[in-house]
Amino acid sequence: MACPSFAPEGNFLSSLLLAVDCHARTIGAAGYQALSAPGSIASLLLTGMLTLFVAMFGYRMLFGQIPDARDGVVAVAKVGVVLALATSWPAFRTLAYDVTMSGPAELAANIGMPAGLPGSDGGVIARLQGVDDELAELNWRGVGRPPEVVEQAGPTEGLTPAQVAAEQARLRDLQDRPRWNPAQDAKMLAQARTLYLTGAIAGFASVRIVAGLLLALGPLFALFLLFDGTRGLFEGWIRGVAGAALGALATAIVLGVELALLEPWLAVILTQRRSNIATPTVPIELLAANLVFVLVLIAALVATARVARGFRLPEALRIAPARLAQALQPAAVPVVAAVAGAAGPRTERIDERPRAAALAEAVVATQRRENASPPPPAARLGAQRVGDAVAARGRSEERVPDAAPLGQSYRRRTRGRVSAGAGRRDRTA
């Protein structure tokens, strides 16, 4: 679609806005069709990502890890949405392009017509151009010289000392009268028109060009819906498109309010100027009004951007990957933990608690079992033998004789000591 050429010598504002709108629409439509065409980069990426998605799904099913019906339906729905957004221009045009490019104007008409805002019937660009023409005429005519004023003192070069003294005396005599500076008034009128043009063009062009760019990249961002790690990029793309659409709506409403205030006011001022009636307060008032509407337009765009940031995908799409991963995990290993004061053991699942907590509880249970069981015998004796030995040692300790008097604890031998070998010889003999 060929856009009309921009002619700066004609109606500057309307020609520029129409050219920007045409280029934004062309970028969104032509860019999408170029990326969704067979053989394009987005088409090759779509083939590869769909193959990887199906392969991962089938690989898990081969090992018996079959997801439930809900996860399967969500996966099939995601593939269908991706294919519709990335390959079908009619579907994309209905779901995204027309909503973003034509929806804000329809909503602005539905809101502005009952409120009586100018341009709500679709002629906002022509009304904006009319206000710019009035500002240009006011810049050309000026605000006029107010009655009983003294002009700003001019340069004194080339004047004789007597003429300079007379001029200074005349100015001192008329000090209490207001002064008029036509150059300053003309400068403020030019600044007021500059703010008006900047606010209208920047507010309109920013949202339209951003919307056209994001729509052109639609096939690429639609692919990110398949996987959990890239789903945030798809959400961000939807937020950007929604923010551009809401920004266009806010811009149309703000410009309509500005037209409602400036059109009748400028009409009265120009009527006075055509009748050669001075309007000395107009430059400052007009500059302040245009500055205020520029700030209001920025605030409206920021507000719509923050509203668009609140978009989230449906909860089913967000929790489906986590549920699928949980269903495909192997069976959890039971952990038996002894509870103080409980009669029996308690069985828990590792996957129901954090891994660190499960390991810590397992170590504590092991220590409790070791502390509860009796220590093993030193010489590999049974529990009964150890008990008997301890009891016998206690009885022997209870029968300890009294201490013998000093010198009587050693008994002398009355017979000689005979060795075992001598005894054997005696018996053989």
| Short-list 241, 25, 19, CA closest to 125 | 19
Predicted TM-score (pTM) above 0.85:
no
3-state secondary structure 363-424: HHHHHHHHHHCCCCCCCCCCHHHHHHHHHHHHHHHHCCCCCCCCCCCCCCCCCCCCCHHHHH
Inter-residue contact 264 to 225 (CB < 8 Å): no
SS (H, E, C) 248-296: HHHHHHHHHHHHHHHHHHHHHHHHHHHCCCCCCCHHHHHHHHHHHHHHH
pLDDT of amino acid 252: 94
Predicted confidence (pLDDT) at residue 229 exceeds the cutoff of 90: no
Indicate the length of the chain as a whole number.
429
Of 63-67, 94-98, 167-171, the range with the highest mean pLDDT is: 94-98
pLDDT reading at 359 higher than 50: yes
Question: Is the pLDDT confidence value at 159 over 70?
Answer: no
The answer to whether the CB of 226 falls within 8 A of the CB of 57 is: no
Whether residue 337 contacts residue 361, with contact meaning beta carbons closer than 8 Å, is answered with: yes
Tell which residue, 250, 207, 223, 253, has the closest CA to residue 100: 207
What average pLDDT does the structure give for the chain?
A: 78
Cα–Cα dist 307/309, whole Å: 5
Instruction: Give residue 62's pLDDT.
Output: 80
Return d(Cα 119, Cα 127) in angstroms, integer. 6
Distance between CA atoms of 217 and 42, rounded to whole angstroms? 9
- What is the model's pLDDT at position 379? 42
Per-residue pLDDT at 202 exceeds 90: yes
User: Residues 6 or more apart from 105 whose CB is under 8 A from it?
Assistant: 122, 248, 252
pLDDT of residue 220: 92
310 pLDDT tier (thresholds 50, 70, 90) = confident
Name the band, by pLDDT with cuts 50, 70 and 90, for residue 269: very high
In the chain, what percentage of residues exceed pLDDT 70? 69
pLDDT of residue 121: 81
Concatenating the DSSP letter of every residue in 134-147 gives: HHHHHHHH-S-PPS
Across 104-132, average pLDDT: 90
What is the per-residue pLDDT for 331? 41
